Amino acid sequence: MLMFAAASVQAQRTTSLKINEILVINNKNFVDDYGQVHPWIEIYNSSPGTVNIAGCYLTSDLSNPKQYMVPKGDVKTIIPPRQHVLFWADNMPSRGTFHINFTLDSIKQNFIALFDSDGRTLIDSVTVPAGQRADVSYGLIEDGWTLKNLREAQKTLTSYKNVTELWMYFDDHNNDGRYVTPSSNNKILDTNEKIENFKDNDKFGIGMTITAMGVVFLALILLYLAFKQIGNIAINLSHKRAKSTGLSHEEATGMVEQSGEVYAAIAMAIYEVTELHDEEHTILTIKEKSKQYSPWSSKIYTLRQIPQK
């Protein structure tokens, strides 16, 4: 039962894996651990937990979902949260875990799919258009995004209002913050989109000032109401205690609603009685202690009279 539950959790986690970026023609972009350039496929873990891609399948043929199984036992197959892993499509699986047994076509379109460890559950797939340019990658507009993420961004962020495609090309020469980035974020975040929108919509900071002052005054009003309610509760409790002792409502109200000067005088009187002293009373006792011996230095052994000459 426990093994079944563990397998279920693993299956749920692998669904967060996304095909994130692909480079079909690699002339001088990025070299592998053998110092050679090959096409590569980047997988992104969009979940807040680690995911082990070992046992999953990569394929370029939908009719052959088990074309390449990611080997088990390699610690590098464990993808940390919001991180990437890169597979080299060099058709050289003998070179290691991340060298798959197929390559990508530089002329035709390329279908790429990621299947779960059962070889039947499709996790993610993409078709890369034909006619790819050298050292220009094809990837998601943001790491791990889906159409739902894009629709939400179109409503809240001005830079996405006119964006209609989830996939786009990344070129190192565009200077728009979107470069070919193997094993890294698709977009280099050097600015805060929400702050930039706020600057555009509130250039003089009037909205920010009104919002900040509103929050402060609202907090003060809530504190006033809270303390006033606490005071009323304390007064009602005092009235109930007074009634239990036989005092009338007017007498109890008079006792509770005394002025500050009266309470100050009472406090001073209590302090005078309990803390201040006009005289310090000290009793010193001396008790004689008898000794049953005479030390060698005792005065009884000394001369008691001055000798006569």
Reported as a pLDDT band with limits 50, 70 and 90, residue 261 is: confident
Whether the per-residue pLDDT at 95 is higher than 70: the answer is yes
pLDDT value for 247: 61
Whether the per-residue pLDDT at 5 is higher than 50: the answer is no
Whether the per-residue pLDDT at 272 is higher than 70: the answer is yes
pLDDT value for 8: 43
Whether the per-residue pLDDT at 147 is higher than 50: the answer is yes
* CA-based max dimension of the chain: 142
pLDDT value for 238: 72
Q: Which helix or strand (DSSP H or E) is residue 51 part of?
A: strand 51-52
Reported as a pLDDT band with limits 50, 70 and 90, residue 7 is: very low
Q: Which helix or strand (DSSP H or E) is residue 69 part of?
A: strand 68-69
Structure confidence by residue, pLDDT tens digits, 281-299: 555 556 665 666 565 555 5
CB atoms under 10 Å from CB of 157, counted, come to 14
Q: Half-sphere exposure of 191 toward its Cβ, with a 13 Å CA cutoff? A: 10
* CATH T-level fold of 2-192: Immunoglobulin-like (2.60.40)
**DSSP alpha helix (H) spans, 64-134:** none
pLDDT value for 81: 93
Q: 179 by DSSP, 3-state: which? A: coil
Note the pTM of the prediction, 2 decimals: 0.60
| Residue extents of the structural domains in the chain | 2-192, 206-274
**DSSP alpha helix (H) spans, 107-191:** 147-156
- Most confident segment among 38-47, 143-152, 195-204, 237-246: 38-47
Higher pLDDT, residue 124 or 283 = 124
Of residues 308, 57, 42, 73, the one with CA closest to residue 185? 42
Which range (73-82, 156-165, 176-185) has the least confidence?
176-185
Instruction: Calculate mean pLDDT across residues 5-16.
Output: 60
pLDDT value for 4: 43
Which range (2-11, 165-174, 274-283) has the least confidence?
2-11
Residues 6+ apart with CB under 8 A from 88: 32, 38, 39, 40, 95, 98, 99, 100
Instruction: Calculate mean pLDDT across residues 77-99.
Output: 95
Whether the per-residue pLDDT at 254 is higher than 90: the answer is no
pLDDT value for 65: 96
pLDDT value for 191: 57
Reported as a pLDDT band with limits 50, 70 and 90, residue 269 is: confident
Q: Are strands 167-170 and 57-59 parallel, antiparallel or unpaired?
A: unpaired
Q: Which helix or strand (DSSP H or E) is residue 87 part of?
A: strand 84-88
What rounded mean pLDDT belongs to the chain? Answer: 81
Of residues 87, 28, 97, 94, the one with CA closest to residue 60? 87
Residue 119 carries which side chain, given as an amino acid letter?
A: G
Q: 256 by DSSP, 3-state: which? A: helix
Reported as a pLDDT band with limits 50, 70 and 90, residue 6 is: very low
Reported as a pLDDT band with limits 50, 70 and 90, residue 139 is: very high
Residues 6+ apart with CB under 8 A from 12: none
